[in-house]
């Protein structure tokens, strides 16, 4: 007869050691990176090149000039300025990066590893880390100065193009929607993600720290990168390892049409 002590001490499929699960995720990711490094580099370059073309549409970009729609949209949003609107968009801007997006990225990645959804964790990690590196590389290359139409209440010292807040929020929203696409939560995730991404983008223009073209470029680059990583992991990632201590759990990406097609062609 099983005692209550034995029952409570028995390990359920979900209650696995955290460190072994993280180690298994990192090892799986490292092997994938080693095998698919050229494809990852190709995807990186395919995102950077359109950004280069987009930035090159105006000669004044490096000196802080902008596209024809940049200044009118900046001034239109600035006309809404008031203490209450200031407070709202400052809060949204914080949520769009260090106060919301970055902690959410870390928590989701840790949760996926803890639940042993190794392929989902690989996809999500490539999406958010790659997007961050892409943004840093683009900013360092284009060196576009920020708008100076008025003194911002939240001044920034880094370069402007493309927007890191726009890329970070769009990366998170797109990746979450893809992870939830096979569930009943997909439309809720899509709707809330669109609203959040739009508000974050508006906040950066309202605060006068980004041109609208910075936001647009950030959205496009982030969505393209996340879709590329989803395709790469779904079509190229092998079945994750399943050691006895931390056996792999079913992951969402394996249910995607891309993964099913790749499996059928093998």
The terminus-to-terminus CA distance of the chain in angstroms comes to 48
Residue 57 confidence (pLDDT): 58
Percent of the chain with pLDDT over 90: 35
Asked if the model's pLDDT at residue 40 lies above 50, the reply is: yes
Q: What is the dihedral of CA 239, 242, 247, 249, to 10 degrees?
A: 0
Joined tokens for residue 215: 């936001």
Number of Cα atoms under 13 Å in the Cβ half of residue 222:
29
Q: Kindly report the length of the chain.
A: 266
CA atoms within 13 Å, Cβ hemisphere of 47: 29
Give this prediction's pTM. 0.82
**How far is it, in rounded angstroms, from Cα 80 to Cα 206?**
8
| Spatial CA neighbour of 174 closest among 218, 144, 238 | 218
pLDDT score of 8 more than 60: no
- Each domain of the chain, given as residue ranges in start order, spans 17-56+76-265
Residue 183 has pLDDT above 70, yes or no: yes
CA distance 11 to 246: 11
pLDDT bracket for residue 4 (50, 70, 90)? very low
Report the distance separating Cα 178 and Cα 172, nearest Å.
Answer: 10
Q: To the nearest whole number, what is the mean pLDDT of the chain?
A: 81
Of 168-177, 212-221, 249-258, the range with the lowest mean pLDDT is 249-258
Chain segment 199-241, per-residue pLDDT in tens: 999 999 999 998 898 899 899 999 999 999 998 888 887 777 6
Two tokens, residue 154: 């939240």
pLDDT tens sequence across 88-107 = 999 999 999 888 999 999 99
User: DSSP of 4-35, one letter per residue?
Assistant: HHHHHHSPPTT---HHHHHHHHHHHHHHHHHH
């Amino acid at each position: 007869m099983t005692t209550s002590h034995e029952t409570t001490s028995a390990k359920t499929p979900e209650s696995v050691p955290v460190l072994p699960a993280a180690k298994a995720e990192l090892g799986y990711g490292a092997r994938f990176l080693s095998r698919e490094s050229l494809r990852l580099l190709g995807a990186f370059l395919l995102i950077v090149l359109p950004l280069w073309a987009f930035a090159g549409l105006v000669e004044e970009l490096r000196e802080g000039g902008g596209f024809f729609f940049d200044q009118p949209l900046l001034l239109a949003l600035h006309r809404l300025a008031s203490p209450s609107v200031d407070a709202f968009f400052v809060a949204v801007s914080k949520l769009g990066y260090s106060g919301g997006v970055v902690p959410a990225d870390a928590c989701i990645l840790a949760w996926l590893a803890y639940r042993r959804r190794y392929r989902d964790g690989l996809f999500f990690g490539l999406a958010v880390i790659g997007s961050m590196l892409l943004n840093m590389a683009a900013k360092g290359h284009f060196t576009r100065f920020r708008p100076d139409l008025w003194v911002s209440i939240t001044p920034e010292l880094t370069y402007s193009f493309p927007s890191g807040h726009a890329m970070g929020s769009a990366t998170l929203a797109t990746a979450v929607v893809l992870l939830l696409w096979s569930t009943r939560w997909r439309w809720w995730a899509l709707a809330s993600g669109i609203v959040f991404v739009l508000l974050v983008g508006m906040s950066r223009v309202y605060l006068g720290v980004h041109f609208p073209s910075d936001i647009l470029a950030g959205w496009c680059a982030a969505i393209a990168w996340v879709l590329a990583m989803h395709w790469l992991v779904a079509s190229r990632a092998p079945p994750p390892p399943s050691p006895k201590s931390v056996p792999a759990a079913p992951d969402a990406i394996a249910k995607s049409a891309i993964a099913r097609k790749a499996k059928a062609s093998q």
